[in-house]
Amino acid sequence: MPVFDFSDTPNEKKDPECTYEVFYSNESEATPEKPILILDNSARQWKHHSGGIFTNPSKRTTFEFKEEDGVFSADILEIDARFTSLLRWLGENHINVRLSGKNQENGYAVYKIRETAFGGGTKLSAEDGFLQFMIDRLLASDAPAEEVSDEEEEEVGDDMKLTSIQSITDFMNCAGKTMPDNIRLWARRNLAVARSHEVSPEERRHAQRALSIMMNIQWKSNYFESIDPEEARKILDEELYGMERVKQRIMETIIQINRTHTLPAYGLLLVGPAGTGKSQIAYAVARILKLPWTTLDMSSINDPEQLTGSSRVYANAKPGIIMEAFAMSGESNLVFIINELDKAASGKGKGNPADVLLTLLDNLGFTDNYIECLIPTVGVYPIATANDKSQISAPLMSRFAVIDIPDYTPEEKKIIFSKFALPKVFRRMSMKESECIVTEEALDMVIKLHENTSGIRDLEQAAEHIAANALYQIEVNHVSKVVFDAEMVKNLLS
């Protein structure tokens, strides 16, 4: 067991001190009155053009001025929130810069930062003007909504992607036990390939890329925390009107998860006419489960290789869409929303892409041809949508709990249009309800014109058309409001 000697550790550790305040600005040009940052000038007045480096900008936040009579430090008092990361980067890399600023009562207002390379100093980029390019880009951006403290930012590991062989090796040595046994063994084998000089550079590149993909996925257990049924029901009511039978089936799934702390053995297959809100139901379930979700559109896939990836024997080999979905989500537990399952094409003699989903749906693991490793799928919850279940093969159907989405009745359509679709459009167009009034007769006409439509998508389009017409009349004819009767709606929507 290793023994660590901390005898040389200081008895007292001084807490880091942040000296600056962040201010939020949307100015597209920096001036002395609207600077990038303000430095303390209470002890010494700084020159209009001053050189130096930022030191420890994430903690005590100072700038070291290199003057003719020596080196002097000044605390940073204020920073434009858009520039905190840039100043931190300049400080961490000890980049020599020249400041342009003006001494004012509240401090030395810096409105220009230029890179200088002298005395063997490090340059930020081989490209001249790169620093100015970044400053211009930051000035053109909007102020961030909220500044994240340095302590919180340091805990975020998403920016520390494992791409180099050294970082992958270190991760394997320090945190390899966080991965499933089969993936850890696979990783050590691929790491040996990536390091070997007895294989081609192409093989090493593919091995390193596969390792980077797999190492950056958080492999979670199949244990799921309990879900608040009241919160789940609230989300369903927010997203869906009516559909009590559908909501009941989803709530049964939630209660099952709470009892077993595992996902159900079968995913959901939502079958119904276009526009009935099948995808909306899927997104609501992902929100309830608090899992990342990915969408797989089967109507656009005509080759199984798009899902399974291509073998590494090819120079242009790459992982399939399913593996990329794991990589994008960053974790092994996610909701797979499979749209248009009934429209999966058979391809050009290469098999049916939909059949590739069988192993994904069995929860026995999925193998990507590029990765060449069994991916655990016990944390994957599939939700598929389809218009015609007769077009789906029996083996696929048997792996889903099928929920038929019924068409809406005229009364339900009326409530959806008036209580959901129209207010939603008003919010999007920044309109007041008093500016666009739809009478009861006009509402009946809207429903009559859409009596043969199956879903609510057409109702939302009708609401947008009516609101847009009202907005046009308000802006062009300078009226305060528009009241739609049945005849007006008929002429507008017919």
- Give residue-wise pLDDT tens across range 24-64: 988 889 999 999 999 999 989 999 999 888 886 444 568 88
**pLDDT > 90 fraction of the chain, expressed in percent and rounded:** 36
Residues 6 or more apart in contact with residue 439 via CB below 8 angstroms: 483, 484, 485, 486
If one counts the domains in the chain, the total is: 4
pLDDT bracket for residue 151 (50, 70, 90): very low
Are residues 130 and 60 part of one domain? yes
Residue ending a domain, choose from 404, 427, 460: 404
The residue among 176 and 151 whose pLDDT is bigger is 176
- pLDDT (average), residues 140-152: 64
Is residue 36 one of the residues assigned to a domain? yes
- Lowest-pLDDT range of 19-23, 153-157, 373-377, 468-472: 153-157
How many other β-carbons are positioned within 10 Å of the β-carbon of residue 212?
Answer: 18
Q: How far is CA 162 from the centre of its chain?
A: 19
Domain-ending residue, one of 182, 215, 248: 215
Q: What is residue 161's predicted lDDT score, i.e. its pLDDT?
A: 60
The verdict on residue 10 lying in a domain is no
| Strongest mean pLDDT among 4-18, 41-55, 113-127, 128-142 | 41-55
Report strand pairing: 380-386 vs 267-271. Answer: parallel
Same domain, 252 and 392: yes
What pLDDT is attached to residue 474?
92
Return d(Cα 121, Cα 471) in angstroms, integer. 60
Distance, C-alpha 272 to centroid of its chain:
29
pLDDT band at 233 (very low <50, low <70, confident <90, very high): very high
Helices of type H across 301-452: 305-308, 321-329, 357-361, 394-397, 410-415, 422-429, 440-449
| 295 in the same domain as 391 | yes
Residues 290 and 382 in one domain: yes
**121 pLDDT more than 60:** no
Q: Answer yes or no: do 414 and 472 share one domain.
A: yes
Shared domain check, 236 and 305: yes
Of the residues 181, 215, 249, the one at which a domain ends: 215
Per the domain annotation, does 320 fall within a domain? yes
Helix/strand/coil for 382: strand
- Burial profile 446-466: b = 16 or more Cβ within 10 angstroms, e = fewer: bbebbeebbbbebbbbbbbeb
Secondary structure of the chain: what % helix, strand, coil (to 5)?
40, 20, 40
Residues 400 and 416 placed together within one structural domain of the fold: no
Residue 29 in any domain: the answer is yes
From CA 272, how far away is CA 386, in angstroms rounded?
Answer: 7
pLDDT band at 494 (very low <50, low <70, confident <90, very high): confident
CA atoms of 194 and 202, how far apart (whole Å): 10
Of 347, 403, 399, nearest to 377 (Cα)? 399
- For residues 392 and 297, state if they share a domain: yes
Query: Are residues 282 and 425 located together in one domain of the fold?
Result: no
pLDDT of 159: 44
- Tell whether 244 and 318 lie within a shared domain: yes
**At residue 445, what are phi and psi to the nearest 5 degrees?**
-65, -40
Confidence (pLDDT) at 299: 82
Q: Dihedral through CA 404, CA 410, CA 411, CA 412, nearest 10?
A: 40
Measured from the Cβ of residue 19, the count of other Cβ atoms closer than 10 Å reads 14
The dihedrals phi and psi of 323, each to the nearest 5 degrees, come to -65, -40
**CATH number for the domain that contains residue 240:** 3.40.50.300
Q: What is the pLDDT of residue 163?
A: 79
Range of the domain at 456: 410-493
In a domain? residue 349: yes
pLDDT band of 492, cuts 50, 70, 90: very high
Span 270-294, mean pLDDT?
86
Which range is least confidently modeled, 4-18, 57-71, 180-194, 388-402?
4-18
**373 and 241 together in one domain:** yes
Among candidate residues 494, 413, 396, the one with its CA nearest the CA of residue 451: 413
Q: Which candidate, 276, 250, 255, places its Cα nearest to that of 335?
A: 250
Q: Which of 199, 213, 116, 114 is nearest to 163 (CA)?
A: 213
Please report whether residue 150 resides in a domain.
no
Q: Is position 5 within any domain?
A: no
- 179-193, 339-353, 470-484: segment of lowest average pLDDT: 339-353
Residue 9 above 70 pLDDT? no
75-93: average pLDDT:
86
The reply to whether 224 falls in a domain is no
Point out the least confidently predicted range of 145-159, 345-359, 399-413.
145-159
CATH number at residue 414: 1.10.8.60
Radius of gyration for the chain, computed over Cα atoms and rounded to the nearest angstrom: 30
Residues 183 and 320 in one domain: no
What proportion of the chain, given as a percentage, has pLDDT over 70?
Answer: 87
The torsion region of residue 404 among left (phi > 0), alpha (psi -120 to 50) and beta comes to beta
